Amino acid sequence: METLRQTNTSMRKEGNYKGHLAMFVANIFWGLMSPISKNILSSGWVDAISLTTFRMVGAAILFWSVSFFCPKERVPKEDLIKLFFAALLGIVFNQGSFIYGVSMTSPINASIVATTTPIITMIIAAIYLKEPITGKKAIGVLIGASGALLLISGSNNIITGSSSSIWGDLSCLSAQCFFSLYFVLFKDLISRYSPVTLMKWMFLYSSICCMPFSHDNIIAIDFATMPVDIYMGILFVVVFGTFICYFLMPIGQKTLRPTVAIMYNHVQPIVASIISVVWGFDTFGYTKTFAIVLVSTGVYIVTKSKSRAQMESEKTKQD
């Protein structure tokens, strides 16, 4: 019996280790994606809509290729329809707004704004799922929102190569809103299928939606003379910033508590800040440091507050 208990404990520790590693690596890739995307877009070779399409089409090809080696899952027609609308919110509007925002703002700002996702999700869940907003949640939202507003209000109009734009920050913020809506509205749908099944359909739908709008822009790109570093940047965004991250996320979600997994979002601005300063895309001053502290504190408070299920469970025990 003791041996069995030790084995189970060992397996849990191994699972937690894999979960922490998966979330850490995924958020490093996402943190790197902001300055790399900025480098691609500022080069003038590729515009935002083209890069978004490359990301969607590339990920669709990779997920469909992998799906041939995975167990088959039947998806009913009604769920295929739902997946189309999930793709619009979770990929088309989300990734499109993010890439467009990065083209106008600094990578550091984009990554800081990305850490507001838990707060936005909590607000939407309160409205749609009737999750209670406790005093702790309200304080967390207020602090986090203060950080985001401080960052956005301190943004300047974009100038050659580096400084940020308020419209870019707002576009990145809207990307987080779209993703939060997708996460809350399609929560049940997401839980019914494997990541590969979900993503192969969602990225296929996203590719179909984007191609008509980006076709002329992509045709106009001079691929024959495009520098190697731009090719490598696009490859990173597609393979590491999209495909691999969507494989790593479920590992963390399955082995870690949500409050632990989501805290790894704060790796993104750290990574983006280091790379952006080294590459000369941005400077890191006191305002941005304080904004990170406010947003991180707000998210921490929100994720540590109790959910409706926890509150109902505690009430049942008391009764």
Domain ranges across the chain: 19-318
pLDDT at 148: 67
What is d(CA 146, CA 294) in angstroms, rounded to the nearest whole number? 7
* pTM, rounded to two decimals: 0.75
pLDDT at 159: 39
What is d(CA 13, CA 31) in angstroms, rounded to the nearest whole number? 27
pLDDT at 243: 94
CA–centroid distance for 260 within its chain? 16
- Token reading at 275: 């790379």
What is d(CA 89, CA 135) in angstroms, rounded to the nearest whole number? 30
**Helix/strand/coil for 278:** helix
79, 81, 84, 89 alpha-carbon torsion, rounded to 10°: -80
Alpha helices in 115-186 (DSSP H): 117-128, 135-153, 166-185
What is d(CA 141, CA 295) in angstroms, rounded to the nearest whole number? 9
- Torsion 275-148-248-99 (CA) sign: negative
**Helix/strand/coil for 146:** helix
Among 152, 153, 90, 96, smallest CA distance to 117 is for 90
- Token reading at 197: 């099944």
What is d(CA 180, CA 33) in angstroms, rounded to the nearest whole number? 20
Answer whether 50's CB lies under 8 Å from 217's CB.
yes
**Which residue, chain included where needed, has tokens 């996320």?**
249
Query: Which residues are within 8 A (CB) of 67 and not within 5 positions of it... i.e. 6 or more apart?
Result: 196, 197, 200
pLDDT at 281: 66
Answer whether 192's CB lies under 8 Å from 133's CB.
no
Amino acid of residue 82: K
103, 105, 106, 111 alpha-carbon torsion, rounded to 10°: -90
Would you put residue 280 in left (φ > 0), alpha (ψ -120 to 50) or beta? left
Per-residue pLDDT of the chain (319 residues; tens, 9 = 90+): 544 444 444 444 445 788 888 888 988 998 898 889 988 998 889 998 999 999 999 999 999 999 999 888 999 999 999 999 999 998 999 888 988 888 888 777 787 787 777 777 777 777 776 767 677 777 877 787 777 667 666 555 443 344 457 888 889 889 888 988 887 888 778 778 888 998 999 999 999 999 998 999 999 999 999 999 999 999 999 999 999 987 887 777 677 665 556 667 777 777 877 787 777 766 667 777 787 788 778 777 766 666 555 555 655 655 5
**Helix/strand/coil for 68:** coil
Answer whether 265's CB lies under 8 Å from 118's CB.
yes
Maximum Cα–Cα distance for the chain, whole Å? 72
The length of the chain, given as a count of residues: 319
